Amino acid sequence: MKLKQKRYLFSGIISTVLIVLLSVVTIQSFSFFSKETIREQGRMAAELLRISLTEQMLSGVIDQRENLLMRLRAIPGITAVHVVRGDPVNKQFGPGLNSEKPRDEMDRLVLATGKWQERFFTENNEPMYRITIPYIATGTGTLNCLQCHDVPEGTVNGAVTLTFSLDHLKQAEWMSITPIVVLLLIFGLCLAYFLKRLFAPMVATAENLKEVVLEATAGNFSGRIESKTTDEIGEIADSTNLLLETLDQSMGKISSKIQSLGNQTRSFDKNTNLLAHTVNVVEEMVGATRFKQTVENDLNIEEIYSRIKSVVTDHFELTNFSFYEVTDNERALNSIFVGGLKNPADLWCDPDIMVNAEACRCKRTAADVSSIDHDNICPRFAGNSKDMGKMVHVCMPMMLSGHIGGILQLVMSEEGAKSRPGIEQMAQIYLNQAAPVIEARQLMQSLKETAMRDPMTGLYNRRFLEDYIDSMLAGLVRQKASMGILMCDVDFFKKVNDDYGHDVGDEVIKGLSNILAKAVRDADLAIRYGGEEFILLLPHTDEDGAMLLAERIRAELDDFTFQTPMGPLKKTLSIGVSMFPDDGEGFWECVKYSDIALYKAKEGGRNKVLRFHKDMWLDQDEY
């Protein structure tokens, strides 16, 4: 949106908000005043009626009270009046007229509680107000109720109900509000005109600034801005002209070299030695190129991260820093290395960013975050709570194919930041050089990981088992721990493919793999061994634990129902269990034993779990 459009939008919004707010306040105030007025009128009318009725009683003409009520109803604005006799009056003087009985719940509530009630409502599209006020016996004042009524003081003798028409108040409300709205509209127009005059120099300066900046981007620094005011806008124009004049004299000769640095360029003020800085940037780029040549020969990502750490500590001579790797589909961060803190588990940031990457401002914005010139820019920075004095930080994202792969954080004192001008730019050069190499290594790891997993189930495959088992066994032997081996096979699986088709067979395999993946611990391995056969490796598990898990898996599949186009399908599972190294010294030997136990389970009727024992070993070639 253009600045001129923003000006009109701002003026319109301000005027509209003022008109609406003041109109609402006026309407609410008038409504409150009107309600209070009608309440007061109701209470006064009720009191006058009470006095009149008392006078009639004292004068002995109380039987003419209905004429009094009729005269009250004739008063403009009062639409209905009726008096209700309470039970104490009925007991003393009789029930009275039929019209003096309670007419509704509101009358009965006032007689019961002695508290006045009111209600605003609409009748025949006309706003109405009803108030019911109790007559409470009192022995004080000019009218002593107890002279005639044989009741205790405070007794509710009766109540009076008055109903008023509010239609005249509604008309008065509109007549009061209309002039105010008109005045507000005039005020809004005047305000819009004033804002237009106020923003006009700013808009003109901004448009002029845009033109000269575009020319400067193309290498032409001869443009100037016309100063229209003597305030800050005029100062901006004068300062920009001074900058352009300086650039016209110096940067014109080196602008092409700066532009060749691509996204490594930055803005400078008039006091910056641009030439010296450019030489420094070129030297850093040469060093970064050599750095890239080095990391390209590193074996893995861990070595590359170690190189980045060396640049921070040796080249930039910093002791306080962090590097986070973005993991878990960009939802979390993983700390790769941290420097400058006594406790290795401590971080320079709030630990929340480790589980919620969006809490990190650098990750969320995909842009550099620096507190050097913007104090407290990131609330997650915890460096100032480390008892090291005032600390500033610079966080830079490492971009990998359009997404953030890592975040480098440099932490310095304010004095250290002043002594290292441009460190943010220089460090970003090294990150940019390392990024494609890290991305290539990640791709290689991903391809290797893909080759190690079964594409249908997502579980590890037999190739992974063959590559991984030696390192796993070495740890088990060193710790003298046992491992359960579960060989699982779906019963009559071939019949599923024959009767239902291979698509249903695939769904059975996927369903079983989900059951297995949820059943095992993080340290366990679920592997698709081949076809409908799966193997589970349970390190640091004894025989009872392995049998318990096997039975739970068998029972879960037995209870599970697969929904197929041909109707529900139930399948069962047979499992053979062996223990390493209890059953044999070699891992593959124990795998063979679990396979023998699986065969015996199928031979014995299927849908069962069998633990291998030596009696099952008849003839190895038979199996």
Q: Which of 564, 565, 575, 474 is nearest to 533 (CA)?
A: 575
Distance CA 56, CA 48 (A): 12
What is the distance between the alpha carbons of residues 518 and 522, in angstroms, rounded to a whole number? 10
- Return the CATH architecture of domain 285-446: 2-Layer Sandwich (3.30)
Name the 3-class secondary structure at 529. Answer: strand
Candidates 477, 480, 525, 505; CA nearest to 571 is: 505
- Beta strand pairing call for 403-413 and 483-490: unpaired
Question: What are the sequence ranges of the domains in the chain?
Answer: 3-165, 232-275, 285-446, 460-622
- Letter string b/e over residues 452-475, b meaning 16 or more CB atoms within 10 A of that residue's CB: bbbeebebbbeebbeeeeeebbee
Query: In the numeric block, which tokens belong to residue 286?
Result: 């040469």
What is residue 217's predicted lDDT score, i.e. its pLDDT?
A: 67
Q: Tell me, what amino acid is at 227?
A: S
Whether 460-622 and 285-446 are alike in CATH topology: the answer is: no
10 Å CB burial of residue 320 (0-12, 13-18, 19+) is buried
* Token digits of residue 138: 């009192």
Q: What is the pLDDT of residues 294-305, one digit of tens each?
A: 888 887 888 999
Question: Which pLDDT belongs to residue 213?
Answer: 78
Q: Angle between the 3-59 and 167-217 helix axes, to the nearest 10 degrees?
A: 170
Check: CB of residue 231 under 8 Å from CB of residue 205: no
d(CA 463, CA 475) in angstroms, rounded, equals: 20
Q: Cite the beta strand spans of 453-524 per DSSP E.
A: 460-461, 483-490
Three-state DSSP state, 612: coil
Cα–Cα distance for residue pair 277/254, rounded to 1 Å: 11
pLDDT at position 483: 94
| Residue spans of the chain under pLDDT 50 | 252, 255-256, 258-266, 268-273, 275, 620-623
Both structure tokens of 118: 């009111």
- 585 within 8 A of 553, measured Cβ to Cβ: no
pLDDT at position 143 is 66
Distance CA 481, CA 613 (A): 20
Residue with tokens 């003419």: 64
At CA 546, angle to CA 541 and CA 547, rounded to 5? 150
Which residues pair with residue 121 across a beta bridge? 128
- Report yes or no on whether pTM surpasses 0.75: no
Beta bridge partners of 83: 160
Q: How would DSSP label each residue in 413-467? A: EHHHHHTSTTHHHHHHHHHHHHHHHHHHHHHHHHHHHHHTB-TTT-SEEHHHHHH
> What is the three-class DSSP state of 174?
helix
Q: Alpha helix (H) ranges present in 297-379?
A: 301-310, 352-355, 361-365
Backbone angles phi, psi at 332, to 5 degrees: -140, 165
- Taking only the tens place, the pLDDT of each residue in 221-258 is 677 887 777 777 777 877 877 877 776 666 545 544 54
Q: Which residue has the tokens 């701002």?
A: 10
Angle, helices 3-59/65-73, rounded to nearest 10 degrees: 160
At position 111, the amino acid (one-letter code) is: L
Ramachandran angles phi, psi of 484, nearest 5°: -85, 140
Contacts of 60 (CB under 8 A, 6+ apart): none
Whole-number pLDDT of residue 164: 84
The CATH architecture of the domain made up of 3-165 is: 2-Layer Sandwich (3.30)
For residue range 495-514, what is the model confidence (pLDDT) as tens digits? 999 989 999 999 999 999 99
How far is it, in rounded angstroms, from Cα 217 to Cα 209? 12
The span from the CA of 505 to the CA of 176, in Å, is 80
Instruction: Give the span between the Cα atoms of 572 and 493, in whole angstroms.
Output: 9
Residue 283 exposed, middle or buried by CB count within 10 Å (0-12, 13-18, 19+): exposed
Distance CA 610, CA 185 (A): 89
- Gyration radius of the chain's alpha carbons: 44
Q: Among the CATH numbers 1.50.10.10, 3.40.50.300, 3.40.190.10, 3.30.70.270, which is that of 460-622?
A: 3.30.70.270
